[in-house]
Chains A and B, each alone.
Chain A
């Protein structure tokens, strides 16, 4: 069987960053497996600016950001396969992939990094009543059709969900000549960045209906009209608040889910993020198997995806170079008051490494709050935030010098200002 030191599944922002950092740590026998025709992943269709302010200290479009990492990988001659689908992997790190040139190939890896990104929640996952005509499409797919393939999916559009992809597509469709009649958001606040609310909706006079959802879809073959209604605090539609819109397209921007299927088949436990449970080295329950980027938890900034990929590359390199196996002792990291999830979910005490980066989201918007990392009653780190919102991931780094008790779980929580 063909062998490789490090197999990286996915050649997008996480996979490329992981490959480059593993190479820079001395690993040469790397193989990136990418299902699309290009490296760069979703960045290729994200043609708008706003990427790279953290990583490169300048504002780049998605394709520009991707090209920087693709160039870094090519300068290092890191091998990759395009148009290649990974069919499965085993706990022993044997990967089966296939492509037109090689057919079906099995490869034994010493370490594997899963960097397969995420997929969109679709019409099937949000139960809208009414017909099932064509013209109901996820925003990311419409973005691919428009920006990669050059097809405009509709002329009169309504958007459900105010996530950033939906907002970006509201502007993009408008610029290409479509009429966007509105955006409905079931929550009382938007899940998109303020910048996108202003520059994608307000700039083009597109109304945002907060606490509203789509209640009916009508159309025999193509979508003809939709009905929206205001919802109460239990998200139930309020009778009498219905509004109708004649549209040919309903675009859905209702959330992203990690593409964690390869790990699911291994029976690896999943967190409520729908990604794997990992330690601070981004290692899963199987030694030498790592997860990073949107397949681990959905990020809002690609810059943090690259950072996570870099950590996975470094820790995978360390794993490959280490021959002795130490018994691992872990403690849990738990989301406390006001926190939805925390990554990592475990700290491996026996392989502590350097600084530990905690990434988490709040459950609901809160103003003037402390965010605290605690172990029992001991505060490991605390920082004050004027505002925290669910759509902005919080990143807190615990310095390598901070003492961590080996027996007590760590909790991340919000604490009111005294």
Chain B
């Protein structure tokens, strides 16, 4: 059965309400960028994931981290589980890899700030 999915386009502030079916026919868009967004969002929605990990440091209690590139949306909670297990110790360099190849996704979780001590 050909289902119709409803999405809000996020390309510009207008926020068009898109309708897209399983054959990737998009409607409700005011400009061609909505079509590109709608198809990508239906076929393979991806997100950057940011969080914090525990750190032993004189300055900080939590070290902010982010995935090095977007991960599939369905993997977000699996990656969060891995992030929650981690504890690191200072010093940490900016963009130091905290978890390599997290959940086998080929993406690293990296530090988003440096910590001297």
Contacts and interface: CB of A to CB of B under 8 A. Distances in A.
Interface of A: 37-38, 44, 47-49, 59, 61-64, 66-67, 146-150, 175-176, 193-195, 197-199, 202-203, 367, 386-387, 389, 392
A170 to B, nearest CB: 14
Interface string B74-85: 001100100000
B13 A49 contact: no
Nearest to B64: A47
22 contacts: A38-B59, A47-B51, A47-B52, A47-B65, A61-B64, A63-B112, A146-B52, A147-B62, A147-B64, A148-B60, A148-B61, A150-B52, A150-B62, A175-B77, A175-B80, A193-B10, A197-B15, A198-B7, A198-B10, A199-B47, A387-B13, A392-B13
A63 B12 contact: no
Contacts of A195: 10
Contacts of A203: 47, 73
Kindly state the interface size class of chain B when it binds its partner.
20 to 34
A64 B61 contact: no
B99 interface: no
A64 B48 CA distance: 14
A67 B113 contact: yes
Contacts of B44: none
Nearest to B73: A203
User: Which 7 interchain pairs have the tightest Cβ spacing?
Assistant: A63-B113, A47-B64, A194-B15, A195-B10, A387-B14, A61-B112, A63-B112
A66 B114 CA distance: 11
Nearest to B55: A150
A135 B112 CA distance: 30
A199 B7 CA distance: 11
A392 B15 CA distance: 13
Interface of B: 7-10, 12-15, 30, 47-52, 54, 59-62, 64-66, 73, 76-77, 80, 94, 112-114
Nearest to A45: B64
B61 A49 contact: no
A150 B73 CA distance: 25
Contacts of B114: 67
Given A48-B50, A64-B113, A203-B47, A194 B61 contact: no
Contacts of B49: 175
B61 A386 contact: no
A149 B112 contact: no
A325 B8 CA distance: 55
Nearest to A37: B59
B62 A67 contact: no
B50 A194 contact: no
A59 B113 CA distance: 15
A49 B10 contact: no
A276 B2 CA distance: 57
A63 B9 CA distance: 28
Contacts of A389: 13
B82 to A, nearest CB: 12
Contact of B50 (A49, A67, A197, A198): A49
B61 A149 contact: yes
B76 A49 contact: no
A304 to B, nearest CB: 15
Given A38-B59, A47-B51, A387-B12, 10 more contacts: A47-B66, A47-B112, A49-B66, A61-B50, A64-B94, A147-B62, A148-B61, A198-B8, A203-B47, A203-B73
A66 B64 CA distance: 13
Nearest to B66: A61
Contacts of A38: 59
Contacts of B47: 199, 203
A192 to B, nearest CB: 11
